[in-house]
Amino acid sequence: MNTINLNISGMTCDHCASTIESAISKVAGVDSVKVSYAKKLAQVTVKPETDLNVETLLKSVQAAGYNAELNSAALHDTQSLALPATVKSDNKPLNIIIIGSGSAAFAAALEAKDMGAQVTMIEAGTIGGTCVNVGCVPSKIMIRAAQMAHQQAHHPFSGIETHVPSIDRAKLVVQQQARVDALRHEKYESILESNPEINLVKGRARFKDANTVIVTKEDGAKQIMTADRFLIATGRTPVLPPIAGLADTPYWTSTTALIATEIPQHLIVLGASVVAVEIAQAFLRLGAKVTILARSTLLSQEDPDIADGLQQALVGEGMVILTHAIVGQVKHEDNLFHLTVGDRIISGTQLFVAAGRTPNTTDLGLETIEVNMSSQAEIIIDAQMRSSLPNIFAAGDCTTLPQYVYVAAASGKTAACNMAGSEASLDLLAMPAVIFTDPQVATVGLTEQQAQAQGLKVESRKLGLENVPRALANFDTTGFIKIVAEKETGRIVGVQILAAEASEMIQTAVLAIRHRMTVQKLTQELFPYLTMVEGLKLCALTFFKDVKQLSCCAG
pLDDT level of residue 29 (50, 70, 90 thresholds)? confident
The secondary element (H helix, E strand) that includes residue 108 is helix 103-114
In a domain, 492, yes or no: yes
The verdict on residue 495 lying in a domain is yes
**Same-domain check for residues 351 and 377:** no
> Are 108 and 212 members of one domain?
yes
d(CA 239, CA 236) in angstroms, rounded, equals: 9
Side chain identity at 386, as an amino acid letter? R
**pLDDT over 50 at 80, yes or no:** no
Per-residue pLDDT tens over the stretch 200-231:
999 999 999 999 999 999 999 999 999 999 99
100 & 231 share domain? yes
Active site residues: 11, 13, 16, 66, 131, 136, 552-553
pLDDT at residue 16, as a whole number: 79
Res 13: pLDDT: 67
Q: In the predicted model, is pLDDT for residue 55 greater than 90?
A: no
CA atoms within 13 A on the CB side of 527: 27
* Structural domain includes residue 23: yes
Does 101 share its domain with 212?
yes
67-74: average pLDDT: 69
How confident is the model over 160-191, as pLDDT tens digits? 999 999 999 999 999 999 999 999 999 999 99
pLDDT, mean of residues 302-330? 98
Asked if pLDDT for residue 423 goes beyond 50, the answer is yes
Q: pLDDT > 90: what percent of the chain?
A: 82
Of 335, 355, 375, the position where a domain reaches its end is 355
Which residues have CB under 8 Å from 54's CB, separation 6+? 4, 70, 78, 81
Comparing CA positions, the residue from 547, 552, 543 lying closest to residue 522 is 543
User: Where are the alpha helices (H) located in 161-303, listed in sequence order?
Assistant: 169-184, 190-194, 254-258, 274-285
Same domain, 521 and 443: yes
Judge if 191 and 65 occupy the same domain.
no
| Among 13-27, 165-179, 236-250, the least confident range | 13-27
Q: Nearest CA to 379 among 109, 99, 102?
A: 99
What does DSSP assign to residue 422?
-
What confidence tens digit (pLDDT) does each residue in 446-498 have?
Answer: 999 999 999 999 999 999 999 999 999 999 999 999 999 999 999 999 999 99
* Domain limit, last residue, from 419, 449, 465: 419
Residue 66, amino acid: Y
One domain, residues 102 and 231: yes
Q: Say what the pLDDT of residue 75 is.
A: 36
Q: Is residue 140 part of a domain?
A: no
Q: pLDDT tens digit string along 100-152?
A: 999 999 999 999 999 999 999 999 999 999 999 999 999 999 999 999 999 99
Q: Is residue 138 part of a domain?
A: no
Whether residues 195 and 336 share a domain: the answer is: no
535 plus 437 within the same structural domain: yes
359/67: higher pLDDT: 359
With respect to residue 149, please indicate whether it lies within any of the assigned structural domains.
Answer: no
Q: How far is CA 286 from the centre of its chain?
A: 27
Whether 385 maps to a domain, the answer reads: yes
Instruction: Please indicate, yes or no, if residue 136 is contained in any of the structural domains.
Output: no
CB 381 within 8 A of CB 221: no
**What is the reported pLDDT for 444?**
98
pLDDT band at 1 (very low <50, low <70, confident <90, very high): low
pLDDT at 549 over 90: no
- One domain for residues 232 and 99: yes
Phi then psi for 14, rounded to 5 degrees? -65, -25
* Number of domains making up the chain: 4
Domain that includes residue 63, residue range:
2-78
The domain spanning residue 515 has which CATH number?
Answer: 3.30.390.30
Q: How many Å apart are CA 366 and CA 398, to the nearest integer?
A: 12
Least confident of 50-54, 260-264, 396-400: 50-54
Single-letter amino acid, residue 467: N
**pTM (two decimals):** 0.85
Conformational region of residue 40, where left means phi above 0, alpha means psi within -120 to 50, and beta covers everything else: left
pLDDT of 50 higher than 80: no
Q: Are 469 and 476 in contact (CB under 8 A)?
A: no
Per-residue model confidence (pLDDT) at position 3: 81
In contact, 116 and 51? CB cutoff 8 Å: no
Domain containing 6 — which CATH number? 3.30.70.100
> Where is the domain boundary, 419, 451, 466?
419
pLDDT band at 63 (very low <50, low <70, confident <90, very high): confident
Per-residue confidence at 70, pLDDT binned at 50, 70, 90? Answer: confident
**Residue 269 shares a structural domain with residue 386:** no
pLDDT band at 555 (very low <50, low <70, confident <90, very high): low
Burial class (CB in 10 A: 0-12, 13-18, 19+), 283: buried
- In a shared domain, residues 333 and 382: no
CATH classification at residue 305: 3.50.50.60
Dist CA 46 CA 61 (whole Å)? 16
Q: How far is CA 159 from CA 147, 163, 164, 404, 470, in A?
A: 20, 13, 16, 41, 20
